[in-house]
Amino acid sequence: MDGVDRPPSDALNSVFYVRDVERDGDRVRYYGEPLVPRGQLADELRDSFRRAGYRIDLEAGREPYETTVVATPADGRIHGIPWTNLVLFGATMLSTLFVGALVWYYIPYSDIAANPLVALRAWPFTAAVLGVLTAHELGHYIAGRYHGVDVSLPYLIPFVFPFGTLGAIIRMRGRMPDRKALFDIGVAGPLTGLVATVVVTAIGLSLEPMTLPQRVVESSGQVIIFNDPLLLDLIATALGQPTSYADPTKTVHPVIIGGWVGMFFTVLNLLPVGQLDGGHMVRAMLGRRQETLASFVPLALFSLAGYLYYVRDLAINESVGLWALWGVFAIVIAYNGPAHPADETPLGWKRQLVGLLTFGLGALCFLLVPVQLLG
């Protein structure tokens, strides 16, 4: 077990009667019976095993009365330089700089092609977007490490229009120990992301508005409008700042778009389906009844798309396609389902309340028509 301490058997023996031990490479399985309530067993062992470099999973034993404690080296620890994470971070920084300069700072493509360094003018936009996305994923990462779950550092995903990124993800390996860990890891992302989103939005609202180039003001083509979520309006009202201007040559500072991105991704991540944050949270809150709720999510999203298209008479590219696409996506991710914890002990009322409040904050970020075309 190079680079990893041996499992702390003393801590195990105080709460678990060991009948047999089986080694499978670096993994150690202890077969026996808990000396404390099974729901408490993982809590009693987690800290001492984590300090020794292991994560703890509980599984069924070989006999009906047995429990198996599985100690696995925590591969989520950072050994050396995480090159993949750094390369994706660098690529996403470049893509958001380019898209930010072209789309949100109105720098002509010819100017960027002639001197790519002019794209650095968009660094506030890049910092805002990457800040809210990274904060969200680091929330998951910190909660995962706290609970001894093997989690990776965030992987940011570069993209093109309109934000230069598709978001970020982390990877979780191994069995989820219990519903508390599943809930904490799921809720940590939206809450930390929303804190960063509020900060970024407040900063953006306090900055001077952008002055549009004359060529943009005189343009007669279609304009994409990103409508304001209620949370953004509440922050603006609290600060006494406008979110639009009567002067057609003025527009909000691009940093506010970073806040908009944080709110929009919060809504999508809180959908109670599959491996999304909302899926993990509701699985922890409701148990296996989450699967019934998740089955209605695609129908709800398709209904939104149908309402906008047939009742509101919006074009397919004005949020109709967005909700229809996420309806398809929800079907795909619902097939895999959320993580299933080894310990199904229900959550206490405090975590249930935090979950409801988090979904309430997510509702403040929801827009029936997030984007639409004018002109």
Q: Tell me: cis bond preceding 162? Omega within 30 of 0 counts.
A: yes
CB-based burial label for 149 (10 Å; 0-12, 13-18, 19+):
buried
Q: Where do the domains of the chain lie?
A: 9-73, 83-374
Beta-strand ranges (E) seen in the chain are: 16-24, 27-34, 54-60, 67-73, 150-151, 155-158, 165-169, 172-173, 210-211, 223-226, 250-251, 371-374
Question: Under CATH, which number does the domain 9-73 receive?
Answer: 3.30.1360
- Whole-angstrom Cα distance, residue 225 to residue 356? 31
- Whole-angstrom Cα distance, residue 42 to residue 59? 11
Identity at 169, one-letter amino acid code: I
- Whole-angstrom Cα distance, residue 213 to residue 251? 11
Q: What residues does 68 pair with on adjacent strands?
A: 31, 59
Question: Does the model's pTM come out above 0.85?
Answer: no
Q: 340: which 2 tokens?
A: 């299933």
287: left (phi over 0), alpha (psi -120 to 50) or beta: left
Beta-strand ranges (E) seen in 205-269 are: 210-211, 223-226, 250-251
The reported pLDDT for the residue numbered 2 is: 43
SS3 172: strand
Give yes or no for a contact between 361 and 194, defined as CB atoms under 8 angstroms apart: yes
Residue 359, C-beta contacts closer than 8 angstroms, at least 6 positions apart: 270, 278, 281
Give yes or no for a contact between 337 and 280, defined as CB atoms under 8 angstroms apart: no
- Sign of the alpha-carbon torsion through 219, 224, 228, 232: negative
Identity at 112, one-letter amino acid code: I
Identity at 65, one-letter amino acid code: Y
The residue to which tokens 């390369």 are assigned: 87
Phi/psi at 106 (5° precision) = 60, 35
The DSSP letter of residue 115 is -
Digit-by-digit pLDDT tens for the chain (375 residues) are 444 456 777 778 888 888 888 887 777 888 888 888 776 777 778 777 777 777 777 777 777 778 888 887 765 444 456 788 899 999 999 999 999 999 888 899 889 999 999 999 999 999 999 999 999 999 999 998 888 777 888 889 898 888 889 888 887 766 688 899 999 999 999 999 999 999 999 999 999 888 888 777 667 556 678 889 999 999 999 999 988 888 878 888 999 999 999 999 999 999 999 888 999 999 999 988 888 888 899 999 999 999 998 988 887 767 888 899 999 988 888 777 777 787 888 899 999 999 999 999 999 999 998 887 665
